[in-house]
Amino acid sequence: MSADPVLAVTGLDVHYRRRTGRLHALKQATLTVAAGETVGVIGETGSGKSTLARAVLGLVRPSAGRIVVAGTDVTGFSARRWRALRRQGVLQYVFQDPLRSLDPDLTVEESLIEPLLIQGRSRRESADRVRAYLERVHLDETLLSRLPGELSGGQRQRVAVARALVTDPRLIILDEPVSALDAATRVRALEFLKELRAAGTALVFISHDLGSVAGLADRVAVLYQGEIVETAPATDVIRSPRHAYTRLLVSSAPTLRSAAANRADRAARRQALRDLLPA
Ligand SMILES: Nc1ncnc2c1ncn2[C@@H]1O[C@H](COP(=O)(O)OP(=O)(O)OP(=O)(O)O)[C@@H](O)[C@H]1O
Same domain (yes/no): 266, 212: no
Residue 103: partners with Cβ closer than 8 Å, 6 or more residues away: 111, 148
The total domain count for the chain is: 2
Domain carrying residue 56:
7-228
Same domain (yes/no): 18, 64: yes
Q: Answer whether 16 contacts ligand 1 (Cβ < 6 A).
A: yes
Mean pLDDT for the chain overall: 84
CA of 96 to the centre of ligand 1 (A): 16
CA of 23 to the centre of ligand 1 (A): 10
Assembly ipTM: 0.97
CA of 50 to the centre of ligand 1 (A): 7
Q: Is 151 helix (H, G, I), strand (E, B) or coil?
A: coil
* Nearest atom (ligand 1) to Cα of 52: 18
- Give the tens place of pLDDT for each residue, 49-107: 989 999 998 889 999 999 999 999 999 899 889 888 888 888 888 766 556 678 888 99
Same domain (yes/no): 168, 276: no
Q: Say what the pLDDT of residue 95 is.
A: 66
Q: Answer whether 47 contacts ligand 1 (Cβ < 6 A).
A: yes
Counting ligand 1 atoms within 8 A of each CB, the residue from 17, 26, 47 with the most, and so the one to mutate, is 47
Same domain (yes/no): 188, 135: yes
Residue 203 lies in a domain: yes
Q: How many whole angstroms separate alpha carbon 86 and alpha carbon 58?
A: 9
Instruction: Let me know: does 162 contact 136? Beta carbons within 8 Å.
Output: yes
Q: Answer whether 208 contacts ligand 1 (Cβ < 6 A).
A: yes
Same domain (yes/no): 20, 92: yes
- Give the tens place of pLDDT for each residue, 183-234: 666 777 777 778 778 888 899 988 888 877 778 889 999 999 999 999 999 8
Same domain (yes/no): 277, 205: no
Residue 236 lies in a domain: no
Same domain (yes/no): 80, 217: yes
Residue 235 lies in a domain: no
Residue 2 lies in a domain: no
Secondary structure E strands in the chain: 7-18, 21-33, 38-42, 64-69, 72-73, 91-95, 171-175, 202-207, 219-224, 227-233
Residue 138 lies in a domain: yes
pLDDT band with cut points at 50, 70 and 90 for residue 246: confident
Q: Answer whether 45 contacts ligand 1 (Cβ < 6 A).
A: yes
Residue 1 lies in a domain: no
Instruction: Let me know: does 178 contact 207? Beta carbons within 8 Å.
Output: yes
Residue 254 lies in a domain: yes
Same domain (yes/no): 184, 245: no
Least confident range from 8-22, 30-44, 171-185, 260-274: namely 260-274
Query: Which CATH number do you get for residue 159?
Result: 3.40.50.300
Same domain (yes/no): 150, 13: yes
